[in-house]
Amino acid sequence: MLELRHLTKSYRTAHGRRYVFRDLNFHFPDGVNIGLIGRNGAGKSTLMRLLGGIDTPDSGSVHTDARISWPVGLAGGFQGSLSARDNVRFVCHVHGAQGEALRRRVRFVEKFADIGEYFDLPLKSYSSGMRSRVAFGLSMAFNFDYYLIDEVMAVGDAEFRVKCKAMFRHRLRKSNMILVSHNMNDIKEYCDVVVLLERGTATLYEDVRAGISAYQGKANVEAS
């Protein structure tokens, strides 16, 4: 069960307080993969941060009994002056994995990322593709009920995408994901339903195509 109850979230800006969500109620359907779409600034990343427990709402709550991953994206999650190995070890420590469990996860990420000796070099020397390999592999090393994936696959090469797909198929037998992407092919490929965010509201589309055309239709109308 994953629910938003009377969720209000605002940020202070130079032009005063700006509300991203105001008293939003929403029930995420169970057991499906959810694509989260919307224009830039619609609140996709904010919602991911709220679901991931990084930000707290001004009022209301995210109500859930599921284990939710951290938002897996390119922006954060790593300490640049440490190697991928050290970063993976850090995340294992934080999540309570020790000893053999820790070593197994490090081996898993190393194998999945497949970036050779870069795995032991500082992360700030990585290309964005290498970062996404490590970021994605790291999240897959842990068992969650929901994986929050934010545009990670967009920068990968063809081979990496094949690998992601295989990994997803394996993981998604027991887990689900919430995918933020501007790439509608990814949404079509991985998601069962679509949630469209606009002007502080969330609309559920059971039919992925209908959701995408609703999003693109609006985008086109506003562009013309």
Using CA atoms, how far apart are residues 13 and 125, in angstroms rounded to an integer?
A: 33
What single-letter amino acid sits at 203? T
Q: 172 to 211, contacts with another protein by CB under 8 A?
A: none
For residue 51, CA distances in Å to 42, 47, 143 come to: 16, 6, 16
Give the shortest CB-86-to-another protein separation in angstroms: 6
- Binding-residue pattern over the window 76 to 115 for another protein, x denoting contact by CB under 8 A: xxxxxxx---x--xxx-xxxxxx--x--------------
**Edge-to-edge strands, sheet with 16-28:** 16-28, 2-13, 59-64
- Binding-residue pattern over the window 21 to 60 for another protein, x denoting contact by CB under 8 A: -------------------------------xxxxx----
The closest alpha carbon to 35, from 158, 183, 219, 140, belongs to: 183
- Binding-residue pattern over the window 128 to 167 for another protein, x denoting contact by CB under 8 A: --------------xxx-----------------------
Using CA atoms, how far apart are residues 189 and 184, in angstroms rounded to an integer?
A: 8
Contact residues: another protein, CB under 8 A: 52-56, 67, 70-71, 73, 75-82, 86, 89-91, 93-98, 101, 142-144
